């Protein structure tokens, strides 16, 4: 493991709290711009993260963790690398460790959510549900502290009694965590209930590690100077801000709050620059507008169905057009460079053609891969071997098929591994002058056609025998030796 020398310090910090749907990259960057020392991402569930692939996005200059459906689950960039804490929802120590290892080189710290009372978190035993299982808390945190080199923290709510709360935080401290964030409310309490500053203070006095006070947005934190007042009232080491920062991220600005119009425009610029999904951008802007949603601008925002329409509503149309054009030009340049590198790569022995597989051009259950496999069996050759890679830039695929020590591939990249392999098979078949099984091709895979005819005839004969008096008992058909009796390859 490589240790990051710039380890997070949790003493005397002002921190953007983890907020679902709010703590995405644009909000985190804006909070840093205005003076936040540390920013937490929104809670991300361990099972979902374990399905993701880490992708270097050269167009946006980001690191993306991408789900199988191509949705970006977590996006970060170099600007926040030493400031961002990844908050995870987990109820399993081994899963938590697997996720931490996946992301630890791209973040400054890892936090376990133990305070969220919402059903989406607690129903899997995560969030506030962990508060009733101290053994599991200890196992998760100890496993992470021992397993990664970045600081580990947790965020909790207070328990029904002070004694139970203090016993829990002392047990958490013994796991070796770097800090504890405390939302000073019980799990059944909501923002309208007063925050228990006295309980946070008792926690801070009971442990030797930094305590981060959270929950003061409603009654205590209105301007920057309130952050220090809240810290002193709770005797905490640092202060974590959620809703006050969601409403106006310039709460972290020592010089005072900035006008909301300016804040929203700067947020939109980050959202466009980093390709934030418009629905998330719209949601965050609505939280900022609050009571102004019924104004003409608020109504335009509410009606917006794209990032471009959001920009139009905030007089950023020219910025949007310029930024999108710059990103498109950068993508085109990178793609051309990648193509040139690909063409010049050490694959001079690979036979290439610019072809793509279109399943509409083939009969059902007939594919180029099937035709190539049948030909190899007929010629008593080794089965085709496919090697497929994904290009990080655009996440497209390219496959090279090896047949009889010769390599073949399409010069075109495809959107899936299966399509890329079929395209490689087409190149091989065409290079060898073999039928590829297309509709209307008189020469399409005679062996496959012959085999299917033989199978149909065998079934027909057996059905006829069963229909005769004293006919032979039903048996499974005996297929031609050496043929593939399993289900055919599908595109």
- Indicate the pLDDT class of residue 394, thresholds 50, 70 and 90: confident
Give the pLDDT score at 339.
Answer: 67
Give the pair of three-digit tokens for residue 213: 């006070």
Rounded average pLDDT over 249-264: 97
Give the pLDDT score at 477.
Answer: 40
Indicate whether 4 pLDDT > 50.
no
Give the pLDDT score at 121.
Answer: 86
3-state SS, residue 355: coil
Condensed to tens digits (0 to 9), the pLDDT of residues 471-481 reads 444 444 433 33
Give the pLDDT score at 263.
Answer: 97
Tokens 């600007």 — which residue? 79
Give the pLDDT score at 390.
Answer: 86
Indicate whether 340 pLDDT > 90.
no
Q: Average the pLDDT over each of 290-299, 367-376, 387-396 and give the range with the smallest value.
A: 387-396
CB 154 within 8 A of CB 86: no
Average pLDDT, the chain: 88
Residue 194: strand pairing partners: none
Indicate whether 143 pLDDT > 50.
yes
Give the pLDDT score at 458.
Answer: 58
Question: What own/partner pairs with CB < 8 Å and gap ≥ 24 does 257-261 have?
Answer: 257/223, 257/224, 258/34, 260/288, 260/289, 260/292, 261/314
Give the pLDDT score at 3.
Answer: 39
Torsion of CA 43, 48, 51, 56, to 10 degrees: -30
Q: Which domains does the chain have, with CATH numbers?
A: 13-265 (3.20.20.70), 347-432 (3.30.160.20)
CA 54 to chain centre: 8
How would you classify residue 482: left for phi > 0, otherwise alpha for psi between -120 and 50, otherwise beta? left
Contacts of residue 397, defined as CB under 8 A and 6 or more positions apart, other chains included, come to 388, 389, 390, 391, 413, 414, 415, 416, 417, 419, 420
Give the pLDDT score at 476.
Answer: 40
Condensed to tens digits (0 to 9), the pLDDT of residues 412-458 reads 899 999 999 999 999 999 999 999 998 876 544 445 545 544 555 55
Contacts of residue 73, defined as CB under 8 A and 6 or more positions apart, other chains included, come to 44, 48, 49, 52, 65, 66, 67
Give the pLDDT score at 457.
Answer: 57
Could you tell me whether strands 179-183 and 350-353 are parallel, antiparallel, or unpaired per DSSP bridges? Answer: unpaired
Condensed to tens digits (0 to 9), the pLDDT of residues 206-223 reads 999 999 999 999 789 999
Residue 228 CA to residue 170 CA, distance in Å, equals 25
Count of CB atoms situated within 10 Å of the CB of 302? 14
Give the pair of three-digit tokens for residue 9: 């310090």
Which residue numbers are catalytic? 116
The dihedral sign for the CA sequence 78, 79, 83, 88: negative
Task: Supply the DSSP string of 40-102, one letter for each residue.
Answer: EPPPEEHHHHHT-EEEEETTTTEEEEE-TTS-EEEEEEGGGTTTEEEEEE-S-HHHHHHHHHH
Indicate whether 291 pLDDT > 90.
no
Give the pair of three-digit tokens for residue 294: 């019924």
CB 384 within 8 A of CB 425: yes
Give the pLDDT score at 32.
Answer: 98
CB 317 within 8 A of CB 310: no
Q: Phi and psi at residue 298, in whole multiples of 5°? A: -60, -40
Contacts of residue 279, defined as CB under 8 A and 6 or more positions apart, other chains included, come to none
Give the pLDDT score at 484.
Answer: 39
Question: Bigger pLDDT: 363 or 123?
Answer: 363
Give the pLDDT score at 474.
Answer: 42
Condensed to tens digits (0 to 9), the pLDDT of residues 165-203 reads 999 999 999 999 999 999 999 999 888 899 999 999 999
Rounded average pLDDT over 3-11: 72
DSSP state of 414: B
Give the pLDDT score at 478.
Answer: 39
């Amino acid at each position: 493991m490589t240790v990051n020398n710039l380890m997070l310090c949790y003493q005397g910090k002002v921190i953007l709290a983890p907020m679902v749907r709010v703590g995405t990259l644009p909000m985190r960057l804006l909070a840093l711009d205005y003076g936040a020392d540390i920013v937490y991402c929104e809670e991300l569930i361990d099972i979902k993260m374990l399905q993701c692939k880490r992708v270097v996005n050269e167009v946006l200059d980001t690191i993306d963790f991408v789900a199988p459906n191509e949705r970006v689950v977590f996006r970060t960039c170099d600007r926040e690398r030493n400031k961002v804490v990844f908050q995870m929802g987990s109820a399993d120590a081994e899963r938590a460790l697997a996720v931490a290892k996946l992301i630890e080189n791209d973040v400054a710290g890892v936090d376990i959510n133990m305070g969220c009372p919402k059903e989406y978190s607690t129903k899997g035993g995560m969030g506030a549900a962990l508060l009733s299982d101290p053994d599991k808390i200890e196992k998760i945190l100890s496993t992470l502290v021992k397993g990664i080199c970045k600081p580990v923290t947790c965020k909790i709510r207070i328990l029904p009694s002070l004694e139970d709360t203090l016993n829990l935080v002392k047990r958490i401290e013994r796991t070796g965590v770097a800090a504890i964030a405390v939302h000073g409310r019980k799990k059944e309490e909501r923002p309208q209930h007063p925050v228990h500053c006295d309980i946070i203070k008792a926690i801070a006095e009971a442990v030797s590690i930094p305590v981060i006070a959270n929950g003061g947005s409603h009654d205590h934190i209105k301007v920057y100077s309130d952050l220090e007042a809240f810290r002193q009232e709770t005797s905490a080491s640092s202060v974590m801000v959620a809703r006050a920062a969601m409403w106006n991220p310039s709460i972290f600005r020592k010089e005072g709050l900035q006008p909301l119009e300016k804040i929203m425009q700067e947020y939109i610029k980050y959202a466009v620059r980093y390709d934030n999904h418009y629905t998330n951008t719209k949601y965050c802007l609505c939280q900022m507008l609050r009571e102004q949603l019924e104004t003409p601008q608020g109504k335009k925002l509410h009606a917006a169905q794209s990032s471009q329409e959001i920009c139009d509503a905030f007089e950023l149309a020219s910025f949007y057009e310029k930024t999108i054009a710059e990103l498109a030009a950068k993508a085109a340049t990178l793609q051309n460079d990648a193509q040139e590198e690909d063409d010049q790569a050490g694959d001079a022995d690979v036979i290439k053609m610019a072809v793509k597989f279109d399943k509409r051009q083939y009969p059902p259950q007939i594919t180029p891969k099937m035709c190539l496999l049948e030909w190899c069996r007929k010629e008593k050759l080794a089965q085709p071997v496919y090697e497929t890679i994904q290009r990080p830039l655009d996440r497209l695929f390219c496959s090279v098929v090896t047949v009889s020590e010769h390599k073949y591939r399409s010069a075109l990249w495809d959107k899936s591994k299966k399509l890329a392999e079929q395209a490689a098979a087409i190149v091989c078949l065409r290079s060898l002058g073999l039928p590829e099984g297309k509709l209307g091709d008189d020469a399409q895979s005679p062996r496959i056609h012959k085999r299917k005819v033989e199978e149909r005839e065998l079934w027909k004969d057996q059905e006829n025998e069963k229909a005769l008096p004293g006919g032979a008992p039903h048996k499974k058909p005996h297929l031609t030796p050496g043929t593939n009796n399993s289900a055919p390859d599908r595109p």
